[in-house]
């Protein structure tokens, strides 16, 4: 066997996918598993998106596009993102990608040299440090407090700065905590100096009057990641984008040409329909998620999980499970094997998440209720 690049050894398994893949193996053996582990809406893509995609297929719109994306889609994204952020967005700053993960890959490939540090508030999306390490960077984790709703503390971030700090990356609304950062926090992060990479893929999935303060409103130098998977239930379409500083666009375009060529034209046609006709669908899904959030949190608290605050965004609950032991991976796989309920170990989200479990409430109310009952059978009532 040949020698492989050493940098790949620093990439940890994505435990949400490890749990999903084990659950799928169990399902092939006839076990009925309830899925609360993976961040995927159980709603179908909007009917208008499916119709537009079928029409594009019938018309033969299945070829390469401009590497940056269809001009009309880039314009529609700029209008939609600008409306949500409360700023004007130039379509020339939009690069359409095959999902938001490639947007992140392109961004970090542009920003990082070996040894550069990237600040990451934690608990964090598992792939942030993986992308950083892949390009020779060093992730620096800055803890957040569950009792404060996982608000990022700019003072803590400032204390973590060194001469090697190149960027900071955060999500709002966040995976796995559902935290939504206040405008003052986002502005403070933008003022620290390092390049801001803001993951806003869950914008629109908000509750209790929460609103996203986009990094686009705080600085022109941020890289803002977004897409269609979560808000429009289009995970399999693999359609995302980055809004980048104007000075970065030519290099991002060249990287896209070489690494991905372009996003699927079929997916882009579906994205156009989502932006043109999808607002009602987003509102309906967000309302359903709000009801599911309440059901899940109430059930988890009755079982003895710690959930100090209701998450104001996304569709996750990061629940304290330390009463059943500190090893979240062991507990998650125990619940999968014994209760046939798939959840994500908190350690997937960094050391700050160890002892916790992440539950996704993108599943139906019936599935959530049954999952709570099954978990109770295995874990027992709180003492």
Same domain assignment for residues 304 and 271: no
**Which pLDDT belongs to residue 383?**
58
Domain extent, residue 40, equals 6-44+280-377
173 and 197, same domain (yes or no): yes
- Is 49 a member of any domain? no
CA distances from 275 to 48, 67, 83, 203 (A): 10, 20, 12, 14
Largest CA distance in the chain: 63
pLDDT tens track for 212-267: 999 999 999 999 999 999 999 999 999 999 999 999 999 999 999 999 999 999 99
> Do 206 and 259 lie in a common domain?
yes
**What is the CATH number for 72?**
3.40.640.10
Residue 260 lies in a domain: yes
231 and 158 in one domain? yes
Name the domain boundary from 229, 262, 277: 277
CA angle 251, 253, 254 (to 5 degrees): 65
Q: Do 330 and 245 have their domain in common?
A: no
Q: Which of 277, 307, 330 is the last residue of a domain?
A: 277
Residues 272 and 287 in one domain: no
> Which stretches does DSSP call E strand in 57-199?
94-97, 117-122, 138-143, 165-171, 195-199
Strands 34-35, 341-342: pairing kind: parallel
Answer yes or no: do 190 and 324 share one domain: no
Query: How many domains are contained in the chain?
Result: 2
Residue 155 neighbours by CB under 8 Å, 6+ apart? none
Rounded Cα distance, 38 and 362, in Å: 9
Mean pLDDT by 10 residues, the chain (383 residues): 80 93 97 96 95 97 97 98 97 97 97 97 96 96 95 98 98 97 98 98 95 97 97 96 98 98 97 96 96 98 96 98 96 98 97 97 98 96 65
Residue corresponding to tokens 């119709």:
51
- Residue 161 and residue 176 in one domain: yes
Answer yes or no: do 326 and 259 share one domain. no
Cα 364 from Cα 162, distance rounded (Å):
45
**Do residues 333 and 340 lie in contact, with contact meaning Cβ atoms separated by under 8 Å?**
no
Residue 52 is assigned to a structural domain of this protein: no
Residue 88 is given by DSSP the state -
Q: What is the CATH number of the domain that holds 37?
A: 3.90.1150.10
Question: How far lies 224's CA from each of 171, 281, 302, 339, in Å?
Answer: 10, 23, 38, 39
Tell which of 257, 277, 297 closes a domain.
277
In a domain, 272, yes or no: yes
Strands (E), the chain: 34-35, 94-97, 117-122, 138-143, 165-171, 195-199, 223-227, 240-243, 316-320, 341-342, 344-345, 356-360
Predicted model pTM: 0.95
Which residue from 144, 143, 135, 126 is spatially nearest to 167, judged by alpha carbons? Answer: 135
Same domain, 103 and 165: yes
The per-residue pLDDT for 182 is 97
Query: Is 272 in the same domain as 357?
Result: no
Residue 213 CA: distances (Å) to CA of 12, 24, 149, 294: 31, 38, 16, 24
Domain membership flag for residue 1: no
| DSSP helix/strand/coil, 211 | coil
Helix (H) or strand (E) holding 85: helix 71-85
pLDDT, tens only, 303-340: 999 999 999 999 999 999 999 999 999 999 999 999 99
Query: Could you give the angle at which helices 328-339 and 365-379 cross, rounded to 10 degrees?
Result: 100
55 belongs to a structural domain:
no
Q: Is residue 326 part of a domain?
A: yes
pLDDT confidence of residue 1: 59
In a domain, 125, yes or no: yes
Q: Are residues 16 and 138 in the same domain?
A: no
């Amino acid at each position: 066997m040949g020698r492989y690049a050493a940098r790949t050894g620093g990439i940890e398994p994505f435990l949400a996918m490890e749990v999903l893949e084990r659950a799928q193996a169990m399902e092939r053996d006839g076990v009925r598993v309830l899925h609360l582990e993976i961040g995927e809406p159980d709603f179908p893509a909007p009917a208008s998106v499916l119709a537009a995609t079928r029409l594009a297929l019938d018309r033969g719109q299945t070829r390469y596009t401009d590497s940056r994306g269809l001009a009309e889609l880039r314009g529609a994204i700029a209008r939609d993102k600008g409306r949500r952020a409360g700023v004007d967005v130039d379509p020339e700053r939009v690069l359409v990608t095959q999902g938001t993960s490639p947007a992140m890959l392109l961004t970090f490939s542009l920003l990082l040299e070996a040894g550069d540090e990237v600040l990451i508030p934690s608990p964090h999306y598992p792939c942030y440090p993986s992308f950083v390490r892949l390009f020779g960077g060093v992730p620096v984790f800055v803890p957040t407090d569950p009792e404060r709703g996982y608000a990022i503390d700019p003072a803590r971030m400032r204390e973590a700065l060194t001469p090697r700090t190149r960027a900071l990356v955060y999500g709002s609304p966040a995976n796995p905590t559902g935290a939504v950062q206040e405008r003052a926090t986002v502005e403070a992060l933008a003022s620290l100096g390092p390049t801001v990479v803001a993951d806003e893929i869950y914008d629109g999935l908000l509750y209790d009057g929460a609103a996203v303060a986009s990094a686009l409103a705080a600085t022109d130098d941020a890289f803002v990641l977004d897409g269609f998977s979560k808000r429009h239930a289009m995970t399999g379409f693999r359609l995302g984008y980055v809004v980048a500083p104007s000075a970065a666009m030519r290099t991002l375009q060249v990287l896209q040409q070489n690494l991905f060529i372009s996003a699927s034209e079929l997916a882009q046609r579906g994205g156009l329909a989502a932006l043109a006709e999808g607002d009602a669908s987003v509102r309906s899904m967000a309302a359903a998620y709000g009801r599911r959030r309440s059901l899940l949190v109430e059930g988890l608290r009755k079982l003895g999980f710690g959930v100090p605050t209701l998450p104001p965004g996304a569709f996750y609950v990061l629940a304290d499970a330390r009463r059943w032991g500190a090893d979240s991976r062991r507990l998650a796989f125990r619940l999968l094997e014994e209760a046939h309920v798939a959840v994500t170990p908190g350690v997937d989200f960094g050391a700050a998440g160890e002892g916790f479990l992440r539950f996704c409430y993108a599943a139906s109310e019936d599935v959530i209720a049954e999952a709570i009952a099954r978990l109770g059978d295995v874990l027992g009532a709180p003492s």
